[in-house]
Homo-oligomer: A and B are copies of this chain.
Amino acid sequence: MPEFSATDCVHMAHALRLAERGLYSAHPNPMVGCVIVRDGEVVGEGWHKVAGEAHAEINALNVAGDKASGAIVYVTLEPCSHHGKTPPCCEALIRAGVSEVVVGLRDPNPDVNGAGIEALAAAGIATRVGLMRHEIEKLIRGFLSRLTRHLPLVRLKMASSLDGCIAMSNGESQWITGVEARADVQRLRARSGAIMTGIGTVLADDPSLTVRDASLQAAGKQPLRAVLDSDLRMPLSAEMLALPGKTVIYCAEDSRKSALLDAGAEVIKIGRGNGRLDTTAVLRDLAGRGVNEVLVEAGPALAGSLIADDRVDELVIYQSPHIMGSETMGMFRTPAWTRLADRKALDIIEMRRVGSDTRITARLAG
């Protein structure tokens, strides 16, 4: 592990903050930030805004101009060495005459994976790798999940009362939580490559699953809508089929396929496991489509089976300060859990007030 100074940390933290600005727009690419420093002065900064457009390093070099010569470059992710949609950043850094590149995280993308660092070193540029690595991994964990596990990060969002109810027995659930919590869900949607739900939720609530908040700079993209629908019961009149963005329906039985194709949906036939759709196959398909993070907004059946199958990486519960009582629906359907020992332990990552509700972020305890 190379040595890093306090000044190095300040500049990399700055680059990390810049990277975060791509939260809603950079995916399927990773969020990346870059800061260029000469003689202790920041002469350039940039971040990756939209896939297909300039990378963070290029944006920072454009700001620095001639001042990049002899400068130190701090970049959260290894610069690319390959021609993708844009030319390789390594070439630009070499051409600009920078003296050193400090890299947060080596890019696990098989097209890069150390080749960028090697190209810089081969051109006589000093490199140091690994500064704030854990913070950067946390920020782009969806991207890392897709590249290394070939699965997106799965974030399950629920809205419940303090006594764990998500709806009345008759299905009434609008609204369990307040406007601030619902605005927060818009931010979860905007950072996600796909929103996943079950056909039960579609039939009960006819949700749109879109990002409606124009202030979320998602570069006009709508997350893909993924519906788990074993028997292809999706109504042709479903709201989401008429909205901007793509709806993909995963089923095991596709006799109604052509009508749904006509309605604008994509229909994918997937196998069953344990009598249910094989969610791993669905998630692999989504990863193959470039989805880094999938947000699950579903009812107790899908939520329960994802939890029981350990398919949830992050659980986000918006807990409203109400008691809803007994004539209600619970959060997770888990018919196989009959003993207390069957319960799942969580690591609580954060509890935060959002309006009058409490947002609880948790991971399944290892």
Contact = CB atoms under 8 A, between A and B. Distances in A.
Interface string A156-171: 0000111111001110
A173 to B, nearest CB: 7
A307 B330 CA distance: 19
A303 B360 CA distance: 25
- Tell me which of A161, A174, A324 has the highest count of chain B C-beta atoms within 10 A of its own C-beta: A324
A347 interface: yes
A41 interface: no
Contacts of A108: none
A255 interface: no
Contacts of A160: 163-164
A5 interface: no
Contacts of A325: 304, 307-308, 330, 332-334, 337, 342-343
A285 to B, nearest CB: 27
A261 to B, nearest CB: 36
A330 B172 contact: no
Contacts of A332: 163, 323, 325-326
Contacts of A358: 348, 351
A245 interface: no
A289 interface: no
Interface residues of A, number: 48
Contact of A340 (B172, B307, B345, B346): B172
Contacts of A163: 160, 164, 330-332
A364 B325 CA distance: 14
A331 B330 CA distance: 11
A335 interface: yes
A68 interface: no
A240 to B, nearest CB: 24
Interface string A314-357: 00010001111111101111110111101111111001000000
A265 interface: no
A324 B304 contact: no
Contacts of A348: 321, 358
Interface in A152-191: 160-165, 168-170, 172-174, 176
A176 B340 CA distance: 8
A300 interface: yes
A37 interface: no
Contacts of A330: 163-165, 325-326, 328, 330
A307 B172 CA distance: 21
B164 A346 contact: no
Contact of A337 (B300, B308, B327, B338): B327
B339 A168 contact: yes
A312 to B, nearest CB: 10
Contacts of A344: 322-323
A322 B347 contact: no
Interface of A: 160-165, 168-170, 172-174, 176, 300, 304, 307-308, 317, 321-328, 330-335, 337-340, 342-348, 351, 358, 360, 362, 365
Cβ-closest 4 pairs across A and B: A164-B164, A325-B334, A163-B164, A321-B346
23 contacts: A160-B163, A162-B164, A163-B164, A164-B330, A168-B339, A170-B338, A172-B339, A172-B340, A300-B326, A321-B348, A322-B344, A322-B346, A323-B344, A324-B343, A325-B342, A325-B343, A326-B333, A326-B337, A327-B334, A327-B335, A327-B337, A351-B351, A351-B358
